[in-house]
Every structure is written in structure tokens, then in C-alpha cells.
Chain A
Amino acid sequence: MIDTYVIPLIKILFVLNATLIGVTYMVLLERKVIAWVQVRLGPMRVGPYGVLQPIADAIKLILKEDITPTRADKWVFTAAPIIVMVPALITFAVIPFGPTVHLFGRDVPLYITDVNVGLLYIVSVASIGVYGIILGGWASNSKFPLLASLRASAQLISYEVAVTMTLVSLIMTAGSLSMVRIVEAQNEANVWFIFVQPVAFVLFFIGGLAETNRAPFDMAEAEQELTGGFHTEYSGMRFALFFLAEYANMIVVSSVATTLFLGGYLAPFPNVDALNFLDIVPGWIWFLLKTFLFLYVFLWVRATLPRYRYDQLMRLGWKVLIPVAIANVIVTGIVKVLL
């Protein structure tokens, strides 16, 4: 009873809340990091060093007037932000945050569930999120959002192919689709998969930037060309859902990249005996550190690189990333057979 219902529920509550708090504070972190890159201070007024800024933002967004355009398709217009947000959140169900810990006389594994098709589950759930973007743009019944949503969804679909092909080579290395098994495989191999599959890692990261609609691939929100992007007509909390879903997706991509390539909750270099003292740091702290490393790179890239043009983006996706990903799968297969 307790093991099947209570503990998973507590875990779900905990992970959901931690993610949502993480998402709101990602917004602050982004503003701060970009401010530092541009030699500014960033938000400083609300609380010490602006740490209460996300709460002020949330209150503002909740209190704002919620406008539905008159000619909009009401049901779809309401559903679109939800469709964007939900897949981003339920992905965390299969991500292992740490090894099994002993809490209150019970062995609690630090993941919500371990499906034997975990990685495919993440990919397929992410593919549902595209609907929110398409429908949000379509239901607004306005030109610019529609154009932006077409752009965004074309981009997402093409980069999904590249990312999925990339993951195939990683699955071949790990020998399993279960996220927990993939981390264990890195433990048994005594090496993080970033050193085994460096090409796959680079492809995954570029694909991840494009899949989350982040700079330099934030074509959907090119202000100069499309005003605000597919969510132009949204206001208040509905806009906030789109906005937060982007950050939630960043956290998803970062934690998936951590699990697949940086050994998840494993300490760095498990095969070097001189670094064994690192084991005193709990696994979930390693997981958070690695995830934040990725998140920081996301922000850093945004502050550094200019936006791609749309045709360049498509060319990169179809003519570079996908062929390289397929070649990587073939090479991995040949190496697997030879060794």
C-alpha cells in the first residue's frame, strides 16, 4: 500500500514542485547571467540581489487581464498552453535523480518510475508538445502567430529526427532504453558516455537547443520579423505557461543530457581511484550540478551567439545533423560488431 501509492505520490509532488520552482528561478538566472555578460547588474530591486523577482513576476502575470481574441477558437486557444506545459512536466517521471537512498527505514529509489522504454517515452512525450505550439498559433486567428507557429513546428519536427537518430547510437552503446539502466551501464563501463560518443553528444546538444526554441535557434520568437512569436495573442497566465514551458523544456533537455552523457548521478571519473573521495557528495547533488552546468551553457549560448536565419537552420538540420547522426549510428554499429 505505502510502497505502491504513498511513496510515488510523495515523489511526484516533490519533483513537480522542485521543477516548478526551478523553472521560475531559471528566468531570474537567465536575466542575471545575460546581465553579467553585458556588464549590467540585472534585476536588483525586489529582495536582496533581486532574488524575489520571480515571485513578483508570477503575481504580476496572475493579476493581469486574461484576453481571448474575439475571433479565436476558444477551446483550442485555452488548451494550447496546457498542451505545451504538461509534456514538459511529465517527462521527469522517468529521469533518475540519484541512487537508491535509505530514508525512514525504507529503501527509496530516487526516480518516480523506471519504464523499460524510458528514453523513447521522453522522445514521444516531447513530440506531443509540438501540438501546443501549432495550435496556439492557429487558434489565435492572427497572421504573425500562425507564421511563427508554422516555423516553430517545422523546426521542431526536423530537429526531432536528428535528435532521435542521435539517441539510437547512444542506445546501442548502453544496450538499454531504460534511463536507470543507462546510468548503470555508465557505472559498469567505468566511463561517462560523453567520452564514448562525443559526436552524439555534440549533435544532441545542438538538437536540444533547437528543440527548446532557444538562441541561436529561437526563430519562433524572432521579434524583428514576427512580433512576439506564436504566443503574441496570449496574455497573463496563459502567456506565462508558454514562457515557463520553454524553461521547463530546457531543464528536461539538460537533465536528459546529464543522464545520457554525463553519468547522471555518478561522481566524475568513477574509474580513477584518486578521486574516490568525491563519493561523499550524494548522487543527487552531482545530478543537480551537472544539470545546472548544461543550463548555464544554454544561457551562455544565448548571450553569445546571434540568431540563425531560417533557411540556414533548416539546412543545418537536414543536411548536416541528420547525415552525421546516421553516420554515427553506422560507425557505432561497426565498432560494436568488431569489438
Chain B
Amino acid sequence: MGEAIAFYVISALILGFAVLVVSTRSTVHAVLFLVLNFLAVAALYVLLTAQFLAVIQVLVYAGGIVVLYLFVVMLVNLKRPPEDHSAPQRRGWLGFALSGVVLAQLAAILVWGGVGAATDSSAAQSSDLALNNVERIGMLLYADYLIPFEVASMLLLVAMVGAIILAKREL
């Protein structure tokens, strides 16, 4: 009961902040609502007894990446309200159509894909998941999914090198 109330309150907060991120006029405020959104998602992880994920969510997303966003936003437009560029109805229907497609896609994944696989494995794992969060994630990342993990980190490294080369033309 209490868990359900907490879940719905946190979900409402997540959705509310997400709406504020896209609807607020000041870019800095939008970034701040994004932080609040991430913190609410972290609270949801705590509710799922995935404390490790929650802490990493706060550390990496709220504390790390968004700070860099904030830097960029602050330096790009210092206290200038966003200009009203062109007509508001411009390409509005295209945005709606695209987000509708994404929504349908996500719904299709939820309805048809992976549900059966998720339920039987999660029921088996949930008992010891609560006990040793860090160990389980470590085993999954560095034993079961070692190669995808390393490939992803190589991808990030390549992206970083590329960004540095783009930013500094003469090295």
C-alpha cells in the first residue's frame, strides 16, 4: 500500500518535471527541472531496492552530465530569453507525428517484446538482488556481459577523441 502510494507520487513527479523541462521558457530552468527529474528517477530506483543504481543515477546523470549541460547553456546564452523564432505552428505537426511513432514503438516493445523473458528471470533473481546489489551488477557487467560493456566503453573513448579533435583543430 505505502509502496504503491510512493510509486504513484514519484511517477507523477517524474512526469511533471519532464513536462516542465520541455515547456519552461528559460533554458537554465529547463536544465534544473531535468536534474529534479533525474533525482525523482533515483527515488524510484530506491523504491525498487536498487540503491546502487539510484546512487549511480545521481552521481553520473544528476551530478556529472547535467553539470556540463548547465555549463554549456550558461555560456551560450547568458540571461537572454529564447528568441521567438518564426511562427509557433512551424513543424508542430511533424513533432507530434514523430513522438507518436516513438510512443507506439515503446508501447509495442512493452506489449510484445521481452515481457515473458523478463518476468521469469526477474522472479528468480529478485530475492538475492536486494541483498547484494553491487556484487550482482558487477558480475553481470564484468562476467556475463563483458564484451558489450567493453565495446560500449570503446565507443565512448572514440567519441571523446573525436570531440577533442573537432574542438582543437591544431593539436
- Interface residues of A, Cβ cutoff 8 Å to B: 71, 73, 76, 115-117, 120-121, 123-128, 130-131, 134-135, 138, 141, 146, 150, 153-154, 157, 160, 177
| B58/A124 in contact, CB under 8 A | yes
| B55/A117 in contact, CB under 8 A | yes
Partner of A117, one of B26, B51, B71, B75: B51
Residues on A with beta carbons closer than 8 Å to the beta carbon of B35: 131
CA distance A263 to B91 in the complex (A): 62
Residues on B with beta carbons closer than 8 Å to the beta carbon of A150: 71, 74-75
The stretch of B60-68, B93-101, B115-123 that contacts the partner chain: B60-68
13 chain-A/chain-B pairs, Cβ below 8 angstroms: A73-B26, A73-B28, A76-B28, A117-B51, A125-B58, A126-B63, A127-B59, A127-B67, A128-B58, A134-B71, A134-B74, A150-B74, A160-B63
| A116/B55 in contact, CB under 8 A | no
Give the size range of B's interface with the partner: 20 to 34
| A134/B55 in contact, CB under 8 A | no
CA distance A154 to B28 in the complex (A): 17
CA distance A128 to B63 in the complex (A): 5
CA distance A256 to B59 in the complex (A): 18
| A120/B32 in contact, CB under 8 A | no
CA distance A146 to B52 in the complex (A): 34
Residues on B with beta carbons closer than 8 Å to the beta carbon of A153: 67, 71
Within 8 Å of chain A (Cβ to Cβ): is B56?
yes
Residues on B with beta carbons closer than 8 Å to the beta carbon of A71: 79
Residues on B with beta carbons closer than 8 Å to the beta carbon of A157: 64, 67-68
Q: Which chain B residues in 18-75 approach chain A with CB under 8 Å?
A: 26, 28-29, 32, 35, 51-52, 55-56, 58-59, 62-64, 67-68, 70-71, 74-75
Query: Least Cβ distance of A322 to chain B in Å?
Result: 14
| B28/A116 in contact, CB under 8 A | no
CA distance A71 to B80 in the complex (A): 12
Query: Least Cβ distance of B26 to chain A in Å?
Result: 8
The 7 closest A-B pairs by CB, nearest first: A127-B63, A124-B59, A124-B58, A120-B55, A117-B55, A124-B55, A117-B51
Given contacts A128-B62, A130-B63, A130-B67, 10 further A-B contacts (CB under 8 A): A116-B132, A117-B55, A124-B59, A125-B58, A127-B64, A128-B63, A131-B67, A134-B71, A134-B74, A154-B71
Query: Least Cβ distance of B134 to chain A in Å?
Result: 6
Within 8 Å of chain A (Cβ to Cβ): is B133?
yes
Q: Which chain B residues in 88-116 approach chain A with CB under 8 Å?
A: none
Residues on B with beta carbons closer than 8 Å to the beta carbon of A116: 51-52, 132-134
Residues on A with beta carbons closer than 8 Å to the beta carbon of B68: 157
| B56/A138 in contact, CB under 8 A | no
Question: Quick one: closest A residue to B26, CB to CB?
Answer: A73
Residues on A with beta carbons closer than 8 Å to the beta carbon of B74: 134, 138, 146, 150
Residues on A with beta carbons closer than 8 Å to the beta carbon of B28: 73, 76, 138
Query: Least Cβ distance of A159 to chain B in Å?
Result: 13
Residues on B with beta carbons closer than 8 Å to the beta carbon of A141: 79
CA distance A177 to B137 in the complex (A): 14
Q: Which of B35, B56, B63, B75 has the most CB of A within 10 A?
A: B63
CA distance A126 to B70 in the complex (A): 17
